[in-house]
Amino acid sequence: MSDIAVRVENLGKRYRIGQIVGYGTLRESLTNAVAAPFRRLRPARHEPSPTSHHELGAMSHEPNFIWALKDVSFEVKRGEAVGIIGRNGSGKTTILKILSRITAPTEGCAEIYGRVGSLLEVGTGFHPELTGRENIYLNGAVIGMGRAEIKRKFDEIVAFAEIEKFLDTPVKRYSSGMYVRLAFAVAAHLEPEILVVDEVLAVGDAAFQKKCLGKMGDVTKEGRTVLFVTHNLSSVVNLCPRAILLVEGKKTSEGLSSDVIGKYIAMTSESRGESVWDDWRRAPGNEKIRLHAVRIVSDGKVACSVDIDKDVKVEIEFWNFEAGARLHTSIHLLDKMGVAVLASANLPSANLMKDEWFDKPHPVGLYRTVCTLPGNFLNEGLYSINAIVLTNLTNIEVFEREVISFTVHESGAMRKEYGGGWLGVVRPKLAWQTEYQGPLNSRDGESQ
């Protein structure tokens, strides 16, 4: 038997900008679920269409088409854990969708040898009208497991997901965190030979993320294969001996994780203090909310490099298209390795001042929300921002990762006094005070 678990050859995927993909009925979902194990036995290949090669080449250069992937090839052996890294829009999730048979390639092929458990966007593979219990059995059927086999793992899945009280509740009423906990538990515990995980774990809390990474480590020790897409580079180092770097849909580097991550950091070291989308139709978001701009402002102007002593303002501008929506904003601040430094939101419990729009119905229009990071808080280095807009506190409408980045630079005084760089991610000025306690007592220093 071959030791290859995944083989990707000259893979390409082209999308029409603005194309809308429809969603089926419950009956169609169940029919597809039953057929899925048999589809997985066949490789995902480009199916020739009536369109000629000449027309295909011409279409690829039209402004209404974009190549999410182009000429990507790699192999993954059984029992390997491989990280796939790259900036937003580099094609990472598209590869996983093709491997999971959610979408078909435009050209090339992707061959999978073994049944696949996938955890992509929140909710992928779950039907919202079914309960947690029903979705566990449905997902097991999707990857070709028998009812007795699923039942044997059922209690372990529920315990890992920590959703016992809501097991018989339709998953459409779950929070994002509950959704992810159950989805990961199902994907990891139903013994797929290949586990495909996208960066949805960012929705969960830190304790659950740690538990998930531990479980993925166990999966590889059991001889199963893991493909892991993430922006948390330290997780890639800890979990994946090998990594693949994608840049604008093309594979630019493959090898030891430490080497590939070094190339990625060097590539992304250029700060970008502002991202603006003037055309709302192509902006991140959905029919309810879309981003207009995210920027770093210091000393009253947009900046990608800020003085360590200065306040840093993170501005998020977004369009609201739904009258009466109750909107909330949040940010994640990440260091250069993709590790979360902090999270903040305009909730009263997390806000030093009152936000007049908090928990109020928002009219249709353009909004700007600002979060201020104080000076003398962050240490020197490169940081990036995840911008998040939610409705009703729990429903994530926009989650744009690493949308902007900025560099904090040291003014020189503390570095000169200390004699070098300071340890840690934060470097606040704290209150220190020394007091004279009096002369030495003759008994001072004597052993007791």
Give the model confidence (pLDDT) of 413-442 as tens digits.
776 676 667 888 888 888 998 999 899 876
Question: Could you tell me what percent of the chain has a pLDDT over 90?
Answer: 40
Percentage of residues in the chain with pLDDT exceeding 70?
Answer: 81
* 237 and 170 within one domain: yes
DSSP state of 28: H
Q: Are residues 258 and 284 in the same domain?
A: no
Q: Is residue 430 part of a domain?
A: no
Residue 23's domain comprises 4-268
Residue 329 has a pLDDT of: 95
Please report the sign of the dihedral spanned by the C-alpha atoms of residue 315, residue 318, residue 320, residue 325.
negative
Helix 147-161 and helix 176-189: axis angle, to 10°? 140
For residues 23 and 156, membership in a common domain is answered with yes
In a domain, 246, yes or no: yes
What does pLDDT average to over the chain?
82
Q: What's the pLDDT at 59?
A: 44
pTM: 0.68
List Cβ neighbours of 131 (8 Å cut-off, separation of 6 or more). 167, 168, 169, 170, 171
Give residue 43's pLDDT band: very low, low, confident or very high (50, 70, 90): low
Q: Are 289 and 389 in contact (CB under 8 A)?
A: yes
What's the structural domain count of the chain? 2
Residues in a beta bridge with 66: 15
pLDDT of residue 143: 66
Query: Does 292 map to a domain?
Result: yes
Instruction: Report the alpha-carbon distance of residue 84 to residue 254 in Å, rounded.
Output: 9
89 close to 231: Cβ distance less than 8 angstroms: no
Which tens digits make up the pLDDT trace of 313-334?
Answer: 999 999 999 999 999 999 999 9
Burial state string for 246-280 with b = 16 or more CB within 10 A and e = fewer than 16: beebbbebbeebeebbebbeeebeebebbbebeee
Whether residue 352 has pLDDT greater than 60: yes
Residue 238 pLDDT > 50, yes or no? Answer: yes
174 & 75 share domain: yes
Q: How far apart are CA 67 and CA 69, in angstroms?
A: 5
Asked if 129 and 146 sit in the same domain, the reply is yes
Q: Indicate the SS3 state at residue 43.
A: coil
Q: Is 53 helix (H, G, I), strand (E, B) or coil?
A: helix
Q: According to the model, what pLDDT value does residue 285 have?
A: 92
pLDDT band at 1 (very low <50, low <70, confident <90, very high): low
Q: What is the pLDDT of residues 77-89, one digit of tens each?
A: 999 999 999 988 8
Residue 237 burial (C-beta neighbours within 10 Å; 0-12, 13-18, 19+): middle
Q: Are strands 305-307 and 312-320 parallel, antiparallel or unpaired?
A: unpaired
pLDDT at residue number 53: 43
Show the tokens assigned to 226: 């893991």
Classify residue 190 as exposed, middle or buried by CB count within 10 Å of its CB (0-12, 13-18, 19+).
buried
pLDDT of residue 42: 47
What's the CATH number where 411 sits? 2.70.50.60
- Reported as a pLDDT band with limits 50, 70 and 90, residue 299 is very high
289 and 261 part of one domain: no
DSSP state of 140: H
Residue 65 included in any domain: yes
- pLDDT surpassing 50 at residue 370: yes
